[in-house]
Chains A and B, each alone.
Chain A
Amino acid sequence: MISLASRDILHGWGKFVFTGIGLGLLIGVTLVMAGVYRGMVDDGKALLDNSGADLWVVQRDTLGPYAESSSVHDDTYRGLLGLRGVERAANITYLTMQVRKGTQDVRAMVVGITAGQPGQVPGWPPYLVAGRQITRGHYEAVADIATGFRIGDRLSIRRNQYTVVGLTRRMVSSSGDPMVFIPLKDAQEAQFLKDNDAIWQSRRRTEANPALNRPGVPGLLDAVLASQSTNPYVNAVLVTLEPGYAPDEVADSIRRWQRLTVYTRAQMEDILVGKLIATSARQIGMFLVILAVVSAAIVAFIIYTLTMDKIREIAVLKLIGTRNRTIAGMILQQAVALGLIGFVVGKIAATFSAPFFPKYVLLVPADTIAGFAAVMIICVLASLVSIRLALRVDPAEAIGG
């Protein structure tokens, strides 16, 4: 028996292939959509992985430092280092802001990392793609490659100029903003320091306050002003554990003795994935459903049209004794073939277009397989209408009058 479906496809292959490519682009968009969701989840996980921490110590009763703002004193870590099971503890600050380079600016998350050696302090970029790690305690930066910065570029963060000495990759905030790592001291200043006008105004306000500017007490005003321009806070303390200690136990002891809120890796992931991107995830879910429905409608419509074009031939086939199974098989095979072409085109389109999206698009093999199954199911379901139509064709129609 020859394959009627393949003969039909070969006969009108141009139309079929172009329809398949069109469908493929739609499937590509769907895969990218799923990839965007995976990318968001991965952004969150990358953020946690790259911080290299086992525990996040944050301000009491906050979901910080990523989902809410948090500030703890920058000497808190000394107390943490004294606890059993704590191997290393390092301050870290996060500040999402526009980082300027010349006239352009890039949205980035500025991360203040504790001074030290690479590999010794949590929070440092774990790997680079170019340049070197920060060696000076001030005015050097390691930027994510997604910022578009190059080694040697001069960045402005608040009032200071930073030289980009290294580039890294996939260092992003949970919302996908690329990171710029700078020394902690600078970051604390950047987070706290206002623009110069604001500082002047604040000084003038202090000077106008008779309680702080007393004529009989020389030096009081200077002391007050100095105390106003220091920032002894950081956003979180990253803690790594000595081998053999369970994160939950150490977290409990920190909660109990330091009166701070602590999150373990699992809890942090839950916050990032479960809370931070929950709405976006639902949004993308809606889009996926809509795209699936649209794809199904398009496949159904195309197969329906192809079947309608062949209604006379189907009548003849039935008249000369073709079994229903054969006819249904022909339509089903065409739908599946269309789905296959669409899927292959879609996968290729998604893979090649993914790097061009401004946000990270992660194409997971599991999604691809699920997508393939969905496409096949959609194609089979979409062909049912046409199969039903074809089976209802009266062979008598082939005989005139």
Chain B
Amino acid sequence: MRALKLQGRTVAMIAIIVPLVLVFAYVAMRSGPLAPVKVTVVRAQEGTVSPALFGIGTVEARHTHRIGPTLAGRVKRVDVHVGDRVRAGQLIGEMDAVDLSDRVRAQEATLKRAQAGIREAEARQAFAQAQARRYDKLSALQATSEELAITRRQEREIAEAGLIAAREALAGAQSERAALVAQLDNLKLVAPVDGVVTLREAEPGTTVVAGQAVVELIDPASLWINLRLDQVNAGGLASDLSADIVLRSRSAETLPGRVLRVEPKADAVTEELLAKVVFEHPPEPIPPIGELAEVTVALPLVQAAVVIPNAALRREAGEVGVWQVKEGRLQFAPLKLGATDLDGRVQVREGLTEGDEIVLYSERALSRDSRIDVVPSLPGAER
């Protein structure tokens, strides 16, 4: 009787208190620092590592032709615009001659004057020669004094010298004119190679100094990528390795390329190695100079090695290694590592054998005494 009477209340109390106490016990045991650490494990496997290097670079032209005048001057005309294709020898612009043509004309007058001078000297020389010849005959016949005959001979020599001087004056005048004409020709800006105009830096009327470029040309066939690689991640970089190039503006497209050369000088400030990567086929349209490119350089495959994911690597007491699971307990295994690839696979040289079970992911940092709870995937991390 008594038991029955109490039952309703007691059952209700038990129904509340017992679950409460159970939940409390669960809470006390399974949360906080006393709880085991959830981990996922993976087995070290025999596999291949396909190492690769990853770096970024900018598109550059191997040869950049900066075309400008050799003397300071004013731009007269520029015939090409940025993006125009030009052929070798094509006139692409001209500097203003300013007074150069007038100076040529003056030089021509000088030339004519020199020619007139020659004619005068020739006349003098002919007359002096005739006189000298006549006096020589007279002197032989004793028809005149020796004195006079010597004078006529001297006059002939002077006249000959005068002729030589006049001829030299003509040659000088001719060279000077030729120099001025050459200068006139130099005012023409001519493309030295086939190429594409990339810059048009001065417009007609602009005064430019000697050495300053008016037009910049590149040869599209000579485009390459100036690749920069972190020094620590550049092991194995060499010429003739194949490379995949992804241009920023065409991120969906992978262009085949090749390492042309590794620069003998590295960048000491940025701690990067420099290399030049060329396109196997010149890309069309031409990528803008200076565009960023991501380059993946494939290195030779590493065959048949024990391979683990790099997420498993930990550092413990100054050594790199992994947590090995042995009979439910943790043991740290220091490793010697080999090649790595961009997918996070790491070759193990020493420290693990195939089939060893290691901790891949963990909820917290682990220690030798951590209690672990092996789960297929960690909460929140599953996709």
Contacts and interface: CB of A to CB of B under 8 A. Distances in A.
B343 A132 contact: yes
B309 interface: yes
A274 interface: no
B318 A344 contact: no
A135 B34 contact: no
A277 B184 CA distance: 78
B211 interface: yes
Contact of A185 (B33, B230, B315): B230
A126 B315 contact: yes
A117 B337 contact: yes
B315 A137 contact: no
A169 interface: yes
A347 interface: yes
Contacts of B317: 243
A321 interface: no
Given A135-B344, A344-B24, A348-B27, A13 B309 contact: no
Contact of B232 (A13, A87, A116): A116
Given A13-B9, A243-B318, A365-B32, A132 B310 contact: yes
Interface string A16-37: 0100000000000000000000
A13 B8 CA distance: 12
Nearest to B362: A127
B262 interface: no
Contacts of B143: none
Interface in A128-151: 128-133, 135-139, 145, 150-151
Nearest to A151: B383
B314 A138 contact: no
A216 interface: yes
A137 B230 contact: yes
Contacts of B13: 10, 13
A285 interface: no
A119 B294 contact: no
B313 interface: yes
A115 B232 contact: yes
Interface in A91-105: none
Contacts of A49: 365
B342 interface: yes
B53 to A, nearest CB: 9
A351 interface: yes
A120 B383 contact: no
B110 to A, nearest CB: 35
B365 A126 contact: yes
Nearest to A343: B24
B189 to A, nearest CB: 16
Contacts of B361: 127-130
A170 B314 CA distance: 16
Interface string A342-361: 00110110011000000000
A280 B24 CA distance: 30
Interface in B86-109: none
A115 B27 contact: no
Interface in A242-292: 242-243
Interface stretch (B113-121, B280-288, B350-358, B373-381): B373-381
Contacts of A328: none
B364 interface: yes
Given A127-B364, A151-B383, A166-B311, A135 B20 contact: no
B182 interface: no
B367 to A, nearest CB: 12
Interface in B326-370: 337, 340-344, 346, 361-366
A308 interface: no
B338 to A, nearest CB: 11
Contact of B318 (A87, A345, A347, A363): A87
B380 A129 contact: yes
Contact of B314 (A126, A243, A364): A126
Given A118-B313, A119-B313, A145-B380, A135 B23 contact: no
By size class, the interface of chain B is 35 or more
Contacts of A139: 56, 294
A215 B209 contact: yes
A52 interface: yes
Contacts of A365: 32-34
A232 interface: yes
A75 B268 CA distance: 10
B23 A348 contact: yes
A344 B311 contact: no
A170 B56 CA distance: 31
Interface string A223-237: 000000000100000
A264 B380 CA distance: 34
Interface in A161-206: 165-167, 169-170, 183, 185
Contact of B343 (A126, A135, A185, A368): A135
A154 B321 CA distance: 30
Contacts of A13: 9, 12-13
Contacts of A136: 54, 342
Contact of A127 (B10, B24, B294, B365): B365
Contacts of A363: 31-32
A344 B270 CA distance: 59
Given A13-B9, A133-B313, A138 B269 contact: no
B177 to A, nearest CB: 32
A218 B211 contact: yes
A117 B320 contact: yes
Contacts of A52: 315
A59 to B, nearest CB: 20
Contacts of A185: 230, 270
A183 B342 CA distance: 14
Interface string B29-61: 001111000000000000000000011100000
17 contacts: A10-B13, A13-B9, A52-B315, A75-B269, A116-B233, A119-B314, A127-B314, A129-B361, A130-B382, A132-B343, A135-B54, A137-B229, A169-B378, A170-B364, A185-B230, A215-B209, A344-B20
Given A133-B311, A138-B55, 9 more contacts: A13-B13, A52-B315, A117-B346, A119-B313, A127-B362, A216-B209, A347-B28, A348-B23, A365-B34
Interface of A: 10, 13, 17, 49, 52, 75, 87, 115-120, 126-133, 135-139, 145, 150-151, 165-167, 169-170, 183, 185, 215-216, 218, 232, 240, 242-243, 341, 344-345, 347-348, 351-352, 363-365, 368
| Top 3 closest pairs, chain A to chain B, by CB | A132-B344, A130-B381, A119-B320
